């Protein structure tokens, strides 16, 4: 009986890199002319994996989001894993927006991935959801590489990472 090759599909965000990007964004915000004399704040909660943005108006909030996104991209953090909440009114005619970072693959996204793999028509490929990741196995490494290529070509709304390829 042949042994199956496996790999895991995950979607992780390096929280230390997010912390570094937030610090860089705060520094840029303090130095930018368009943010002088206005409220433009970024709070980072590592425990909740959430960012809270506070700005005077919609224009400043969008500029704040642009700064944060650019710093995250430079630090290698996938911005596809950011879940932007709706801007809400805050004290003093200000706007607050909460941005949560998605860690792992949610169950419904995992079901979409498994469904896509099954619909791909791969021979003897099995996929199963395990906590916040999806494990894919097959007797053939070549089939697993085709599965990876197919998944990279599709958009599931989160950044997919392939880890633990074992034969």
- Taking only the tens of pLDDT, the chain with its 167 residues reads 458 888 999 988 889 999 999 999 999 999 989 888 888 899 999 899 999 999 998 999 999 999 999 999 999 999 888 999 999 988 888 999 999 998 888 888 999 999 999 988 888 888 899 888 999 999 888 888 999 999 999 888 888 888 887 87
Both structure tokens of 161: 């990472």
Distance CA 8, CA 109 (A): 14
Predicted pLDDT at 2: 55
The hierarchical CATH code for the domain 5-12+105-166 is 3.30.70.860
pLDDT score for 4: 84
- 5-12+105-166 and 15-101: identical CATH topology: yes
Torsion of CA 94, 71, 79, 93, to 10 degrees: 0
Place of tokens 């992780």: 12
Q: Which residues of 48-81 are buried (b: 16+ CB within 10 A; e: fewer)?
A: ebebbbbbbeeebbebbbebbbebbeebebbeeb
CATH superfamily of 15-101: YajQ-like, domain 2 (3.30.70.990)
Domain ranges of the chain: 5-12+105-166, 15-101
């Amino acid at each position: 009986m042949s042994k199956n090759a496996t790999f895991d599909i995950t979607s992780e965000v390096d929280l230390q890199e997010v912390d570094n990007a937030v610090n860089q964004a705060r520094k840029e915000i303090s130095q930018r002319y368009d943010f002088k004399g206005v409220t433009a704040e970024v709070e980072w909660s590592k425990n909740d994996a959430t960012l809270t943005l506070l700005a005077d108006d919609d224009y400043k909030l969008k500029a704040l989001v642009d700064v944060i996104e650019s710093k995250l991209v430079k630090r290698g953090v996938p911005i596809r894993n950011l879940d932007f909440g709706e801007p809400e009114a805050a004290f003093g005619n200000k706007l607050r927006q909460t941005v949560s970072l998605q860690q792992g693959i949610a169950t419904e996204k995992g079901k979409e991935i498994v469904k896509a793999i099954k619909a791909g028509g791969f021979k003897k490929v099995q996929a199963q959801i395990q906590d916040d990741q999806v494990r894919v196995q097959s007797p053939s490494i070549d089939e697993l590489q085709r599965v990876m290529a197919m998944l990279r070509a599709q958009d599931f709304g989160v950044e997919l990472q392939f880890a633990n390829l074992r034969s």
